[in-house]
Amino acid sequence: MLTHQITEPYSRYFQKSMVFLFPLAGIPLHDEIKPVKSYIYLPGLVELDTPEIILEFEKNAEVIKFLDPIIARNLRLKKISGLSEKLFVLVDLSQYKEQYLFFLNGSYSCFDQKVKQQILNFHTKNKANLAYIHSFLYPERYFSQYAKLFDVSENTLQEVGELIDKPNLTKETLNYRGLSVSMVESRPTIHYLPNVNRELNNAMNWPVSR
């Protein structure tokens, strides 16, 4: 039974959707082209009870060349049009609806074995964090290690059941100011409202989620 050595707790916040849901999107792993952020909520387009995520990419010729044929072949992927600064992809995760509900509840250890393996396979090259991801998916194998790290009893961790918290919905939300979202003929669109100062919007580091 595989168990990694965990020498210190993972202390930095990370987007849970990027780690646990992005691997289910059907976008092949690329060494250089990866989403900048991922989101599970965009008011007016993606609701929390809908198993969908939005992936945000830097928009350039290389990214477009990589993503366009993937999106064309995969009916679960839709490019969100309307903005020139970023490239957003809407991902349908309805086939993973039960897993998505586990995700919302922070019950990562409840993922199906096949999904757990899919997530781990996707992060294989991420050597620095693979051990942590494995421990989040199989917490029962790591209670003794984490109990020492947190200076608590194993029983306490067993009662909690998970080694990391639920997704932070604030940080998993695509916040937009001065933008409008719509769905036209099944094509998602984000565009600026009239009279919006785009330069100011960009200066404010939109999207503002952190």
pLDDT for 162 equals 96
Summarised one tens digit per residue, pLDDT across range 143-200 is 999 999 999 999 999 999 999 999 999 999 987 666 677 776 667 777 666 655 454 3
Strand partners of residue 56: 37, 88
Q: Are 79 and 71 in contact (CB under 8 A)?
A: yes
Q: Are 12 and 5 in contact (CB under 8 A)?
A: no
pLDDT for 136 equals 97
Q: Are 143 and 157 in contact (CB under 8 A)?
A: yes
